[in-house]
């Protein structure tokens, strides 16, 4: 999975891995034991993936691709109190037409509302494909569909971040250049990362905001789905289908369904 950090501030920053060595040198951003992030230091030291973005000027960004599972704590050298944590999982659900890689915790806990990144990797296909793929994604709760949308993807692997929320900001509006229909593709959305689009299921009050992908040159990266999804103490089902390859239907159906289980007692 590739993670992109954007500097939307007016001052420079860094994204720098925290290690035991940096603690011993007095560079730790944690002068007081942090019960959440402090255990991550051992995992980083035992791993082989360390990263330092270097100076990120205003408007700059840094890209890093994680290939090893583990917990990675990082901080900003210009302001060590700014810190974060990346949890890289190694869970994979095998399907008939595609596999689902899982970044985050499954089973999910509806009471914690934790983010979940799902990557869908089609089988029997060269990646990246010669032509852009169009995916259709539908998410179901125990009563029926709660989300449906199409996504364009040029690298062949569809990356979705699900951000559960109980309530959406009522000021969220459909931005210019986006397609607000229930089944509309996000191609227009991909060309304007500052816009949002609303997705509504017919006959339901549930709404979700879709934005992304993270990079638009080329159109690649993670799409983000923010809304009341994975908030109920019951399993969800996600159906993913490749509907077009280069704007033509695939010669054979490419479709799979995966259960998103809920933690017992969550």
pLDDT at residue 219, as a whole number: 58
201 burial level (CB within 10 Å; 0-12, 13-18, 19+): middle
Low-confidence residues of the chain: pLDDT under 70: 19-48, 167-206, 215-220, 265-266
Please give the Cα distance from 259 to 83 (Å, whole number).
33
Residue bearing tokens 């089944």: 183
pLDDT value at position 37?
A: 46
Q: What pLDDT does 251 receive?
A: 92
> Which residue from 87, 51, 84 is spatially nearest to 69, judged by alpha carbons?
87
pLDDT at 237: 96
Q: What is the model's pLDDT at position 160? A: 94
Closest CA to 264 of 111, 88, 100: 111
State residue 74's pLDDT score. Answer: 86
pLDDT value at residue 244: 95
pLDDT of residue 265: 58
- The pTM (predicted TM-score) of the whole model is 0.67
- The helix/strand/coil state of 22 is helix
- What is the structure's pLDDT at 60? 92
State residue 104's pLDDT score: 80
Residue 178's nearest CA partner among 214, 140, 150, 220 is 150
Average pLDDT, the chain: 76
Give the H/E segment covering residue 242: strand 236-245
Q: Can you list the domains of the chain with their CATH numbers?
A: 2-88 (2.60.40.420), 91-260 (no CATH)
pLDDT at 41: 45
């Amino acid at each position: 999975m590739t993670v992109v950090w954007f500097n939307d501030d007016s001052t420079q920053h860094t994204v720098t891995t925290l290690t035991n060595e940096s603690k011993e040198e007095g560079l730790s951003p944690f002068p007081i034991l942090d019960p959440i992030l402090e255990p991550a230091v051992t995992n980083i030291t035992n791993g082989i993936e360390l990263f330092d973005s270097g100076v990120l000027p205003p408007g700059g960004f840094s890209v890093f691709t994680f290939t090893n599972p583990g917990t990675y704590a990082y901080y900003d050298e210009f302001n060590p109190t700014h810190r974060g944590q990346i949890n890289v999982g190694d869970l994979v659900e095998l399907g008939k037409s595609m596999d689902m890689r899982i970044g985050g915790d499954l089973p999910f806990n509806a009471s914690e509302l934790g983010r979940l990144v799902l990557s869908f990797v089609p089988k029997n296909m060269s990646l990246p494909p010669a032509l852009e793929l169009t995916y259709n994604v539908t998410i179901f709760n125990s009563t029926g569909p709660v989300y449906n949308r199409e996504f364009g993807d040029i690298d062949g692997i569809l990356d979705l971040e699900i951000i559960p929320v109980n309530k959406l900001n009522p000021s969220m509006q459909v931005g210019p250049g986006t397609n607000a229909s229930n089944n509309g593709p996000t191609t227009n959305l991909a060309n304007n990362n500052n816009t949002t689009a609303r997705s509504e299921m017919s006959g339901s009050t549930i709404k979700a905001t879709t934005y992304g992908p993270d990079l638009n040159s080329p159109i690649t990266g993670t799409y983000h789905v923010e809304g009341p999804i994975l908030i109920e103490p019951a399993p969800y089902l996600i159906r993913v289908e490749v509907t077009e390859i280069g704007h033509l239907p695939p010669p054979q159906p490419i479709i799979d369904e995966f259960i998103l289980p809920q933690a017992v007692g969550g």
